[in-house]
């Protein structure tokens, strides 16, 4: 399977329950029976491999576990996040080496939110042939090609908006025939928007002032001193919108 996942063989941790429903998946060319409801990441670990790299949040947010696979009798190459994609019968997972893409280095304070900035920092964007492969590869179902088209027009707001949920897994970039690094272009768009185009919010200003005035120091200290398990419990019990 997976980009950047390094696996190290270690003794199998569990033995298969007799009547448990299973699926067969191929990991490094070898067939393994794994629980039918397992994620790809869970299946690799169930098969006795230890994931040393290529995993982070394990909840579909960090983009560290980009994965490619094939299915039997199907010509397509599929992509997904290993922690959030369930196994399928006959799934063939392929290990890929890490291929960090080139990332433009810039000082956001010296840029302007327009198409010239895109031309200078990511000229490859203009090689886009609108094949839509990036959109099909995106495990977040983002309209990747559309945000690249927005970048070509210098529409920074749309570039920000359509790329907002990108987790930078890089699957779009490894499938792109024009060798664009879509996730980095999206990141630039969000930074430009945040710096130059977004409206100032009073609430944010107030909150920054409160932080500067040490209003939350006690609470930060309490969190920093917390044990990992306690912190986890509190995180999942938090109020969120
Ligand atoms: S481990 Fe973070 S997205 Fe999969």
* DSSP letter for each residue of 192-232: HIIIIISPP-HHHHHHHHHHHTTTTHHHHHHHHTS-HHHHH
From the CB of 53, is ligand 1 less than 6 Å away?
Answer: no
Instruction: Please give the number of the atom of ligand 1 that sits closest to the Cα of 58.
Output: 1
Tell me how far the alpha carbon of residue 29 is from its chain's centroid: 25
Exposed, middle or buried: residue 25 (CB in 10 Å: 0-12, 13-18, 19+)? buried
For a substitution probing ligand 1, which of 64, 80, 183 has the most ligand atoms within 8 Å of its CB?
A: 64
For a substitution probing ligand 1, which of 40, 44, 60, 66 has the most ligand atoms within 8 Å of its CB?
A: 60
Dist. CA 61 → ligand 1 center (Å): 6
Dist. CA 201 → ligand 1 center (Å): 31
Instruction: Please give the number of the atom of ligand 1 that sits closest to the Cα of 63.
Output: 3
* CATH code for the part of the protein at 108-197: 1.10.1060.10
> Which tens digit of pLDDT belongs to each residue from 108-157?
999 999 999 999 999 999 999 999 999 999 999 999 999 999 999 999 99
From the CB of 63, is ligand 1 less than 6 Å away?
Answer: yes
Dist. CA 18 → ligand 1 center (Å): 31
CB 196 within 8 A of CB 159: no
From the CB of 72, is ligand 1 less than 6 Å away?
Answer: no
> Which tens digit of pLDDT belongs to each residue from 33-68?
999 999 999 999 999 999 988 899 999 999 999 999
Dist. CA 162 → ligand 1 center (Å): 21
Q: For the domain with range 6-93, which CATH number is right: 2.40.110.10, 3.10.20.30, 3.40.50.300, 2.70.98.40? A: 3.10.20.30
From the CB of 138, is ligand 1 less than 6 Å away?
Answer: no
> Which helix (H) or strand (E) element contains residue 34?
strand 30-35
Dist. CA 23 → ligand 1 center (Å): 22
CB 47 within 8 A of CB 32: yes
| pLDDT, the chain, mean | 91
The closest of 139, 188, 131 to 3, measured between CA atoms, is 139
Task: Write the CB contacts of 115 (distance below 8 Å, at least 6 apart in sequence).
Answer: 151, 152, 153, 154
Farthest CA pair distance, the chain: 64
pLDDT of residue 97: 67
pLDDT of residue 147: 98
CB count, 10 Å around CB of 214? 9
From the CB of 54, is ligand 1 less than 6 Å away?
Answer: no
pLDDT of residue 5: 55
Q: Among positive and negative, which fits the CA dihedral 232, 233, 237, 238?
A: negative
> Which helix (H) or strand (E) element contains residue 23?
strand 22-27
Q: What is the C-alpha to C-alpha distance for residues 85 and 38, in angstroms, rounded to an integer? A: 8
Mean pLDDT of 1-18: 49
> Where exactly are the structural domains of the chain?
6-93, 108-197, 210-236
Confidence check: pLDDT of 182 > 50: yes
CB 90 within 8 A of CB 25: yes
CB 50 within 8 A of CB 12: no
């Amino acid at each position: 399977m997976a980009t950047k996942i390094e696996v190290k063989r270690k003794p199998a941790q569990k033995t298969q329950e007799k009547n448990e429903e299973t699926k067969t998946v191929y990991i490094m060319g070898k067939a393994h029976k794994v629980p039918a409801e397992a994620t790809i990441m869970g299946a690799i670990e169930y098969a006795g491999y230890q994931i040393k790299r290529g995993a982070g949040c394990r909840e579909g947010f960090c983009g560290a576990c980009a994965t490619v696979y094939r299915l039997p009798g199907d010509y397509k190459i599929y992509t997904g996040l290993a922690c959030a994609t369930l196994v399928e019968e006959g799934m063939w997972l392929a290990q890929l080496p890490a291929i960090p893409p080139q990332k433009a280095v810039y000082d956001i304070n010296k840029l302007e939110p327009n198409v010239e900035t895109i031309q200078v920092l990511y000229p490859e964007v203009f090689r886009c042939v609108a094949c839509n492969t990036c959109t099909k590869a995106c495990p977040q179902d983002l309209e990747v090609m559309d945000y690249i088209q927005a970048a070509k027009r210098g529409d920074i707001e749309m570039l920000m908006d359509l790329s907002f949920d990108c987790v930078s897994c890089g699957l779009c970039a490894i499938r792109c025939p024009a060798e664009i690094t879509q996730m980095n272009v999206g990141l630039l768009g969000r930074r430009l928007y945040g710096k130059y185009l977004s409206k100032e919010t009073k609430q944010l200003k107030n909150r920054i002032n409160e932080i500067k005035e040490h209003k939350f120091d006690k609470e930060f200290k309490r969190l920093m001193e917390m044990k990992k398990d306690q912190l986890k419990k509190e995180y999942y019990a938090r109020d969120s919108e």
